[in-house]
Structure 1
């Protein structure tokens, strides 16, 4: 019976493509299910052979470690060069959005903490 190898919910397209290429390059047979039109299922990559699944999981662990290291290196480079996204940068670029989100967060906190006391 096939086992779900990778649920594609919230997986960036470039990462999904890299994982597909990784499986193909290592001759691991897989099939892909498409997302449902109603958003119930996000689709996934499935592997039938248990031996191939174990090998694919080891390859995936190495891939994810390398991807994490690349992302951290990119983030560090962005911070050194001043390109990293910051709160002040967001506030300057989209002040209405940031202030609106802060107001919404404050309203949720106030309602969460004050509403039970007001209903007593």
Structure 2
């Protein structure tokens, strides 16, 4: 019986492709399901042979550990060069977009709180 191996919801396509390639290179018999048009299904990679679950899980865990270390190194390199994304850098790079998003947040907050303020006065 097939067993769920790897959820694909909110997974970047690059990471999903690397996991597919990793499983394929190690001869894992898998298939994939999509969430569908309305998103009601399960987007995932499934393993056909339940007996290979421990080996497949170990491969994915090792991959994710290496991915985490690589991303941390990249972030540390950006921080060392002073290029990590911050609110001020985004504001300097995209001032109109940042200000519009701030105005949108203020508008949502105002719409949410105004009925309560009217009840109080």
TM-score interval (norm. to shorter): 0.7 to 0.9
Per the normalisation by structure 1, the TM-score is 0.82
Partner of 1:80: 80
The CA distance in 2 between the partners of 1:42 and 1:85, in whole Å, is 33
Distance 1:42 1:91, change over 3 A: farther
The CA distance in 1 between the partners of 2:68 and 2:115, in whole Å, is 42
Deviation at 1:56, TM superposition (A): 1.3
Deviation at 1:8, TM superposition (A): 1.7
Count residues with an aligned counterpart. 120
Over the aligned positions, Cα root-mean-square deviation in angstroms equals 2.1
Alignment of 1:1-120 (within 5 A): 1-41=1-41, 43-119=43-119
The CA distance in 2 between the partners of 1:89 and 1:12, in whole Å, is 24
CA shift digits 1:7-65 (9 cap, x unpaired): 22221121111101211222211012245244444632111222212221122112111
Per the normalisation by structure 2, the TM-score is 0.82
The CA distance in 2 between the partners of 1:119 and 1:108, in whole Å, is 18
CA shift digits 1:57-105 (9 cap, x unpaired): 1221121111011001100101111332221121112111111111222
Structure 2 unaligned segments of length 5 or more: list them.
none
Structure 1 unaligned segments of length 5 or more: list them.
none
The CA distance in 2 between the partners of 1:63 and 1:51, in whole Å, is 20
